Amino acid sequence: MSKPLGSFPGGLKLPGHKAQSTQTPIRKTPISNKLIMPLQQHIGAAAVPIVEIGEKVLKGQRIAKADGHVSVCLHAPSSGTVIAIKNHPIPHPSGLDALCMIIETDGEDRWIEREAVADFKSLSAHDIRQIVRDAGIVGLGGAGFPSFIKMNPGVRNKVETLLLNGSECEPYISCDDMLMRERADGILDGVEIMQYGLEAEEVILAIEDNKPRALSAMELALASRPHMTSTRIVIVPTRYPTGGEKQLIQVVTTKEVPSNGLPLDIGIVCHNMGTAYAVGRALYHGEPLISRIVTVTGKSVEHAGNFETLFGTPIAELLAFAKTKRQQDEAFILGGPMMGVNLSGDNLPITKTANCILVGVHDSAPEAEPLPCIRCGDCASVCPASLLPQQIYWHSRAKDFEQAENYNLFDCIECGCCDYVCPSKIPLVSYFRFAKTEIMTKQREQQKSDLARDRFETRLARQEREQKEKEERQRQRKAALAASKAKKDKEDAATTETADKEN
Amino acid sequence: MALFRISPPYLAGANRVTKQMLQVLLAMVPAVIAMVYFFGVAVLINIALALVVGLLAEILMLKLRQRPIKPFITDGSAAVTAILIAVAIPPLSPWWLTVVGVVFAIVFAKQLYGGLGYNPFNPAMIGYVLLLVSFPLEMTTWLPVSSLAENPVDFHAAFQLIFHGETGTDWVADTVSGATPLDAMKTQIGQSILPEYIINQNLFGFAGGLGWEWINIWFAIGGIYLIYRRVISWHVPVAMLAALFIISGLTSMFAPEMTGSPIFHLVSGGTMIGAFFIATDPVSGSTTVKGRLVFGAGVGLLTYIIRIWGGYPDGIAFAVILMNMMVPLIDYYTQPKVYGAVK
Identify the closest residue of chain B to A332 by CA–CA distance.
B2
Q: What mean pLDDT comes out for the span A458-468? A: 92
Q: What mean pLDDT comes out for the span B44-52? A: 95
Q: Is it the case that residue A50 has pLDDT exceeding 50?
A: yes
Q: Residues of B with CB below 8 A from A363's CB?
A: 11-12, 14
pLDDT of residue A369: 81
- The pLDDT-based confidence of A492 (bands split at 50, 70, 90) is confident
Cα gap A228→A280, rounded to integer Å: 15
pLDDT of residue B1: 33
Query: How distant, in Å, are the alpha carbons of A207, B95, B142, B171 from that of B175?
Result: 73, 19, 10, 9
Q: Is it the case that residue A61 has pLDDT exceeding 90?
A: yes
Identify the closest residue of chain B to A385 by CA–CA distance.
B339
Residue A254 and residue A102 in contact, taking contact as beta carbons nearer than 8 Å: no
Q: Is it the case that residue B169 has pLDDT exceeding 60?
A: no
A124 part of a folded domain: yes
Closest CB to B7: pick one of A14, A376, A430: A430
Min Cα separation B127/chain A (Å): 20
**Host H or E run for residue A132:** helix A125-134
Cα gap B62→A144, rounded to integer Å: 49
Closest CB to A387: pick one of B13, B116, B338: B338
Residue A352 and residue A144 in contact, taking contact as beta carbons nearer than 8 Å: yes
- A379 marked as part of a ligand binding site: yes
A271 part of a folded domain: yes
Q: What mean pLDDT comes out for the span B87-109? A: 94
Closest CB to A374: pick one of B7, B117, B342: B117
A173 part of a folded domain: yes
pLDDT 10s digits, A208-221? 999 999 999 999 99
A204 part of a folded domain: yes
pLDDT 10s digits, A275-286? 999 999 999 999
Q: Is it the case that residue B340 has pLDDT exceeding 50?
A: yes
A323 part of a folded domain: yes
Q: What mean pLDDT comes out for the span A311-321? A: 93
Q: Considering the entire predicted model, what is its pTM?
A: 0.86
Residue B209 Ramachandran class (φ > 0 left, ψ -120 to 50 alpha, else beta):
beta
Q: Is it the case that residue A76 has pLDDT exceeding 80?
A: yes
DSSP states of A406-438 as a string?
Answer: HTTGGG-----HHHHH-TT---HHHHHHHHHHH
pLDDT of residue A498: 62
- The pLDDT-based confidence of B150 (bands split at 50, 70, 90) is low
pLDDT of residue A495: 67
Domain encompassing residue A289: 19-31+114-334
Closest CB to A331: pick one of B2, B338, B340: B2
Contact B12 A376 (CB under 8 A): no
Contact B11 A246 (CB under 8 A): no
pLDDT of residue A136: 93
In sequence order, what are the residues at sequence separation of 6 or more whose Cβ sits closer than 8 angstroms to the Cβ of residue A372?
Answer: A424, B114, B115, B116, B117, B118
For chain A, how many structural domains are there in total?
1
CB pairs under 8 A between A and B: 177
Q: Residues of B with CB below 8 A from A360's CB?
A: 2
pLDDT of residue B3: 45
A51 part of a folded domain: no
- A376 marked as part of a ligand binding site: yes
Min Cα separation A159/chain B (Å): 19
More confident residue, B221 or A364: B221
Q: Is it the case that residue B4 has pLDDT exceeding 70?
A: no
Residue of A248, A264, A359, A375 for testing the chain B interface, max B β-carbons within 10 Å: A375
- The pLDDT-based confidence of A490 (bands split at 50, 70, 90) is confident
What's the N-to-C CA distance of chain A in angstroms? 120
Cα gap B11→A358, rounded to integer Å: 12
Q: What mean pLDDT comes out for the span A7-16? A: 92
% of chain A beyond a pLDDT of 70: 97
Q: Residues of A with CB below 8 A from B10's CB?
A: 333, 337-338, 340, 342, 361, 364-365
pLDDT 10s digits, A251-274? 999 999 998 889 999 999 999 999
Residue A143 and residue A315 in contact, taking contact as beta carbons nearer than 8 Å: no
Q: What mean pLDDT comes out for the span B110-137? A: 94
- The pLDDT-based confidence of A375 (bands split at 50, 70, 90) is very high
Cα gap A135→A137, rounded to integer Å: 6
Q: What mean pLDDT comes out for the span A395-423? A: 93
Round the average pLDDT of chain A to a whole number and report it: 91
- The pLDDT-based confidence of A56 (bands split at 50, 70, 90) is very high
Range with the lowest mean pLDDT among A341-350, A482-491, B242-251, B296-305?
A482-491
- A270 marked as part of a ligand binding site: no
CATH classification of the domain holding A309? 3.40.50.11540
Residue A392 Ramachandran class (φ > 0 left, ψ -120 to 50 alpha, else beta):
alpha
Min Cα separation A377/chain B (Å): 6
A364 part of a folded domain: no
- A73 marked as part of a ligand binding site: no
Q: Residues of B with CB below 8 A from A429's CB?
A: 7-9
Min Cα separation B245/chain A (Å): 26
A383 part of a folded domain: no
Identify the closest residue of chain A to B9 by CA–CA distance.
A338
pLDDT of residue A248: 95
Q: What mean pLDDT comes out for the span B258-281? A: 92
